[in-house]
Amino acid sequence: MESITRILEPGKTVIVTGSNIGIGLEAARHFVRLNAEKVILACRDAAKGNEAKNDIELSERKIGVVEVWHVDLGSFDSVIEFCERAKKLNRLDIVIENAGVATGVYESCEGYERQITVNVISTFLMALLLLPTLRRTATQFNVLPHLVIVSSDAHYYAAFKQRTEPSVFEALRGGDDPTDRYPVTKLLEILIVRELAVEMDKTGAPKVILNALSPGFCRTGLYRNVPFPLSTFFTVATLAVGRTSEMGSRNLFKAATAGEESHGNYIVDCSLGNVSSFVRSKEGEETQKRVFKELLFILEKIKPGVVENIWH
């Protein structure tokens, strides 16, 4: 996998969620090293965010670039508050939505299963809320902003039994398949990115590149909340064959600097990759449109008017 050496154009402002640890932290470090003017570590735990900030400043010997902003994707209000703050930025060039959870057990959060809330609903709530700021940057600075969703090859393995239910998101409120839920969230991310990219292209609004990626199987803290014995399995597996967080983070940087050919697509090993056969099937295409429509209905209830951001 190619190393990261590309120097960013001057003035870039970057947001990376879930950046106090793992691939998010290492991606933020790349952006600081490669000339970003402002890198915002968007973290649920501000204390850990400040530890990450200090770590980056020490390794890169750059002070005044990194900021720590609080956001909790387990709270819709927190996401909205964060995005309102981001509106006040002079510019916003890159958003990497890396924050996510894998639990393996049922937990309720904002009326939905926690992984659905964090990995899907809040992720795309943030995406739509930040789109106007990205587009303003495109117009004002004549640049091509990027909105990046960190997905996973886990989407290949999703059984996704709920896909035939009258309402997919209603069916996903329950906890009858805890081990399949994380792969399902990653599959939903892929489906929604593909459909959202199509809808974004229907407007005359300034171009924003939207893509998804897999960082690969990495040694990160993602599986820290998975119960025994799966936690032991993932710990041993990542130590045996997992990539370092730095290696995985290269995919984040690549997606955030990729060309228009990446719009609506999936990046693997720093190149355009293939999504699962289900995603590419007729059933996958029909499911894609259905879950996208359902998600927009949910997002509009959370924040009235947010769906219009897709086209304006």
Which residues have a Cβ under 8 Å from the Cβ of 84 and sit 6 or more positions away?
none
Catalytic residue among 19, 38, 182, 262: 182
Length of the chain in terms of residues written: 312
Phi-psi region of 233 (alpha: psi -120 to 50; beta: other; left: phi over 0): alpha
182 is catalytic: yes
Type of residue at 100: G
Q: What are the percentages of helix, strand and coil residues in the chain, rounded to 5?
A: 55, 15, 35
Q: How far apart are CA 95 and CA 137, in angstroms?
A: 12
> Distance between CA atoms of 228 and 158, rounded to whole angstroms?
21
Say how many C-beta atoms besides its own lie within 10 A of residue 90's C-beta: 12
DSSP type of residue 218: B
Q: Which amino acid is at 14?
A: V
With residue 195 as reference, give the H or E element that holds it.
Answer: helix 178-200
Which secondary-structure segment (H or E) carries 246?
A: helix 245-257
Torsion angles phi and psi, residue 95, rounded to 5: -125, 120
Catalytic residue chosen out of the listed positions 19, 151, 245, 262? 151
From the candidates 12, 38, 186, 254, give the one annotated as an active-site residue: 186
Q: Is 151 a catalytic residue?
A: yes
Strands (E), the chain: 13-17, 38-43, 66-70, 94-97, 108-109, 112-113, 146-150, 209-214, 266-268, 271-272
Which residues on neighbouring strands pair with residue 147, listed in sequence order? 95, 210
Active-site positions read 151, 182, 186
